[in-house]
Amino acid sequence: MDDLLDRVLAAKEDDACFTQLVEDHKSWILSCASKAAGRYVTDSDDEWSVALMAFSEAVRSYDAQKGAFRPLASVVIRRRVTDHLRSEGRHSAELTVTPGAFAGELEEEEACGVNLRVASRVAQDSMGAAFDDSVSRAREEIAEMQDILRAYGFSFFDLAECSPKAEKTKKSCAQAIRTLIASAILMAKLRLKRLLPIRELSEQSGVIRKILDRHRRYIIAGAEILDGDFPILASYLKSVREG
């Protein structure tokens, strides 16, 4: 167990150590996810990605003075997988109502540049309680995204300025986002270090480092939105998801 303690502490600071720790504990992580889901989970299931993020969270927050690592990690994995399963039902319900609520209202706004003023304008121009409810949920999503992005050192409202403008650059950033959210390891590194894994992302996506560095905030926000439970914000990134 002392060896595990040393490895977890090393993984908090070193990406290579974290990657190796994940590989060595993959079966255990899948087992925890399966117990939480009440069915057999494989590494091709969404629950695997959720469990991996939870494992990363447990590594990041681990304090050796508060007990062994595995009991903590198992609790975090169980909670996150359970929350994910609950949110999936809520996500499906919202998708039937909200994606079209803001259709045609953004005009020249960048996909990630949507803000509370846009939401307010849509509320004033639209009719019906369904639209008002959508605006309320949009505000909630923006507030939650604010909290997430604050951990990375920037604001949701910074995105309007850092979003790519040229079509070629937009396509490159979209490719980077798709590559990022398709890799549980890269997402875990992103959330563990709160830094974009530029070298690995460039190698896997084929996008040059200069673009990744210049538009890292947009890429981080896009990945967090599409990999999270943000159906309204995600609807503005439909072209990014579909490629």
Q: pLDDT tens, 98-114?
A: 332 222 233 333 333 33
Cα separation, 90 vs 185, in Å, equals: 26
What is the per-residue burial (b if ≥16 Cβ within 10 Å, else e) of 13-29? Answer: eebebbeebbeebeeeb
Which residue's entry shows tokens 């490895």?
A: 7
Query: Rounded mean pLDDT of 35-48?
Result: 84
- The pLDDT tens digits for 90-147 are 443 333 323 322 222 333 333 333 333 333 343 344 434 544 565 667 778 888 888 8
Neighbour-count burial of 243, counting CB atoms closer than 10 A to its CB (0-12 exposed, 13-18 middle, 19+ buried): exposed
For residue 44, the SS3 value is: coil
What is the per-residue burial (b if ≥16 Cβ within 10 Å, else e) of 205-238? Answer: bebeeebbeebbbbbbbbbbbbbbbbbbbbbbbe
Q: Which residue has the higher pLDDT, 8 or 136?
A: 8
pLDDT at 125: 43
Q: What is the model's pTM?
A: 0.52
Q: What is the DSSP letter of 155?
A: -
Nearest by Cα to 150 from 232, 233, 91, 220: 220
Q: Tokens representing 205?
A: 């996506």
Neighbour-count burial of 128, counting CB atoms closer than 10 A to its CB (0-12 exposed, 13-18 middle, 19+ buried): exposed
Query: Do residues 183 and 204 touch, judged by C-beta distance below 8 A?
Result: yes
User: What is the average pLDDT value for the chain, to the nearest integer?
Assistant: 78
Nearest by Cα to 105 from 118, 115, 94, 116: 118
Cα separation, 99 vs 128, in Å, equals: 16
DSSP of 171-229:
HHHHHHHHHHHH-HHHHHHHHHHTS--HHHHHHHH---HHHHHHTHHHHHHHHHHHTTT
Cα separation, 173 vs 215, in Å, equals: 7
